A and B are shown apart, each in its own frame.
Chain A
Amino acid sequence: MSDVMLNLDAVDKFYGPIDKGVHAVRNLSMTVTRGEIIALLGSSGCGKTSTLRMVAGFEAVSRGRISIGGREIHTLPPVQRNVAMAFEGYSLYPTVTVRDNIAFALKRGNFSAVDVAAKVDEVAEMLEISAILDKYPSSISGGQQQRASLARALIRDADLYLLDEPMGQLEPQLRTLLRGRIKAYIKERGLTAILVTHDQTEANALADRIAVMEDGELQQFASPEDIKKSPANLFTGTFVGEPPMNVFPARTSISETTVSLRLDGDVELSYPVDAFSAELRTRLTEMGEVVLGVRPYAVQRRETGSPATVVANQWLGDQSHIAANFAAGSLVLVEHDRTQLVEDQQIAVHLEPSDLHIFNPKTGMAISHGARLVG
């Protein structure tokens, strides 16, 4: 058996006539390994749900191929694909109890009644719905329905588990708790799962790899760390990461001794020439104009540095989010203790070359991360 569980090969999705209708998914190719948890992350309308529905079989594939476990399935009806799906809109059977809704998926298999009950109890406990197993879907809250739907999907024995915004309706506290449990449940059983979400916190917490999508196109498919450390382009850089990455347009000038990045508003960042690799320096000279990105937690406050004016300082219990006017734009800093900065206070900030992400302003593609040329 190969290790590839799911393979999408140049998949296109059009709503309406092919090549004329709305192009919802564009030439998407990706491979998911057995036992991996993948998150499809993007804002609404980015094509993530269309992709999931094509895998599940609820949407026809306009072009391209999808295979599960080496078997081409994109022309099969959903029931023959052996996938389990948890729906964003819950979709429980209204006429039976939550317990029967969950057990339904097992009844057709070869399980004794005792086994079924034990399995239902286990998954219900994990998702904190044990207390409502004997209620009917209409008498439970949206969040409970969503968890019941999730339980029904997870309890099945399927090749692939498809979870469409499985926690969208839950309270923030419950979400944090369940994230860890669901991940452990999937990992212990070695299941392969694809999660669709617009919530990057969820994607980061659950997924081994994140597929960032925008406009129907795959922007980057990599581990959460890689996406954070080396965003492939400006979109991924600013979309993933909370608070979002700070970005500034900059003009480069490189002398014998210094690399200088001039930002708007007369801010100049100068670094010793050897802080940047030779290839990168050449590239920066070629480019002339670049976009500079720096993550909020990487912005350092120092005695001397580029001037910034504090606009807001918000303490959130375990970290402070500080907004400042900087380089004719605004800059966000994260500090992990409570800082006593007040509005209009002058501060000096320093950006380390190793924390800089540099992008091509025209294409948006990353040029360098941490002063090292991409690729």
Chain B
Amino acid sequence: MQTTSTFESVLRGMAITVIILFFMFPIFWIFLMSFQTNETILRVPPSPFFEPTLTNYRSLISGRLEGSTATLEIAFMSNLYNSLFLSVTSVTVGLLLGVPAAYAFARLKFRGSEDIAFTLLSFRFAPPLLVLLPLTIYFQQIGLADTYGGLIWVYQLIVLPLILWIVRGYFEDIPADIEYAYRIAGHGFWATFRKIALPLAGPGIAAAGLLAFIFAWNNFIFALVLASADKQPVTVGALAFITASGINYGQIAAGIMLSIAPTFALALYAQRYLVEGLSLGAVKG
């Protein structure tokens, strides 16, 4: 309705402010922390006023953490690179496998298709730790432990069900008549998939890809167990900030800012797709 009173709009504004504060304050505070030294962070009472410093970022990027007692070498940037590589590759592999599979589940309705689709989803139900122990042993036996390939494979557990279920919903939303029309016009099955189904499910595929990227990026436990230092992503690498000589909050905060930056930027960029993808695909699928 258009005719809302001023009182109503003021009230609405206040409510939105409260909600934004509630959700955004932690991120905002960490953002401030990343520009402070441990002393200013830990002072009582805390204050948002301080002299900003870039030392945290500088030491992260150079890979040398200046502690109070010693200097620690940390491969933060290579962790960041690992995260990027693992996430991008996993999502690419996930899309290559998941999108055609989703199409098959949406359109072909073969015997047992529902069961298989559900089984794939059920991978998300299992506690990762439970899967990890046997997996570690197998991986060591077949030489996949501590390889990018092995990690990407395991990451499919996270990525694939997500892509499958979101994209499947999108394919199901395309009226079958549109694909029939293209077939009847004289085009084959694969041409119809490429020229009709893929472009029309585009927003869903993009949304699924983005979400999968975020999930892969944020994964911790698989990489913790299966990857050694040189293959670790940032989520695992951040553990190195907790040292025997204490915790350097400023550097952790800077680490957090750097590691959420890519996903945050992606999410902002693709906000519309994400919301659409989640509300359409996930609910209906």
**In the complex they form, do A and B come into direct contact, defined as C-beta atoms under 8 angstroms apart?**
yes
Residues of A within 8 A of B (CB): 14, 16-18, 21, 59-62
Residues of A within 8 A of B2 (CB): 14, 16-18, 21, 60, 62
B171-200 vs A, Cβ < 8 Å mask (1 yes, 0 no): 000000000000000000000000000000
B3 at the interface (CB under 8 A from A): yes
> Shortest Cβ distance from A80 into chain B, in angstroms?
16
B142 at the interface (CB under 8 A from A): no
List residues 26-47 of chain B with CB under 8 A from any CB of chain A. none
Main secondary structure of the interface of A (DSSP, over half): loop
Residues of B within 8 A of A17 (CB): 2
Residues of B within 8 A of A (CB): 1-3
Residues of B within 8 A of A18 (CB): 2
Q: Chain B residue with minimal CB distance to A74?
A: B3
| In the complex, the 3 A-B pairs of residues with the closest C-beta atoms, listed nearest first | A60-B1, A60-B3, A60-B2
Q: How far is the CA of A60 from the CA of B2 in the complex (A)?
A: 7
Q: How far is the CA of A62 from the CA of B1 in the complex (A)?
A: 9
> Shortest Cβ distance from B6 into chain A, in angstroms?
15
Residues of B within 8 A of A59 (CB): 1
> Shortest Cβ distance from A133 into chain B, in angstroms?
32
Residues of B within 8 A of A61 (CB): 3
> Shortest Cβ distance from A295 into chain B, in angstroms?
38
> Shortest Cβ distance from B261 into chain A, in angstroms?
36
Residues of B within 8 A of A62 (CB): 2-3
Can you pick out 12 interface pairs between chain A and chain B where the beta carbons lie within 8 Å of each other?
Answer: A14-B2, A16-B2, A17-B2, A18-B2, A21-B2, A59-B1, A60-B1, A60-B2, A60-B3, A61-B3, A62-B2, A62-B3
Q: How far is the CA of A61 from the CA of B1 in the complex (A)?
A: 9
> Shortest Cβ distance from A288 into chain B, in angstroms?
46
Residues of A within 8 A of B3 (CB): 60-62
Q: How far is the CA of A61 from the CA of B3 in the complex (A)?
A: 8
Q: Chain B residue with minimal CB distance to A58?
A: B1
Q: Chain B residue with minimal CB distance to A62?
A: B2
> Shortest Cβ distance from A100 into chain B, in angstroms?
29
Residues of B within 8 A of A14 (CB): 2
Q: How far is the CA of A62 from the CA of B3 in the complex (A)?
A: 7
> Shortest Cβ distance from B223 into chain A, in angstroms?
47
Q: How far is the CA of A349 from the CA of B2 in the complex (A)?
A: 56
Q: How far is the CA of A18 from the CA of B3 in the complex (A)?
A: 9
Q: Chain A residue with minimal CB distance to B3?
A: A60
Q: Chain A residue with minimal CB distance to B4?
A: A60
Q: How far is the CA of A17 from the CA of B2 in the complex (A)?
A: 7
Q: Chain B residue with minimal CB distance to A16?
A: B2
Q: Chain B residue with minimal CB distance to A15?
A: B2
Q: How far is the CA of A16 from the CA of B1 in the complex (A)?
A: 9
Q: Chain B residue with minimal CB distance to A17?
A: B2
Q: How far is the CA of A18 from the CA of B2 in the complex (A)?
A: 8
> Shortest Cβ distance from B1 into chain A, in angstroms?
4
Q: How far is the CA of A216 from the CA of B225 in the complex (A)?
A: 66
Q: Chain B residue with minimal CB distance to A60?
A: B1
Residues of A within 8 A of B1 (CB): 59-60
Q: How far is the CA of A62 from the CA of B2 in the complex (A)?
A: 7
Residues of B within 8 A of A60 (CB): 1-3
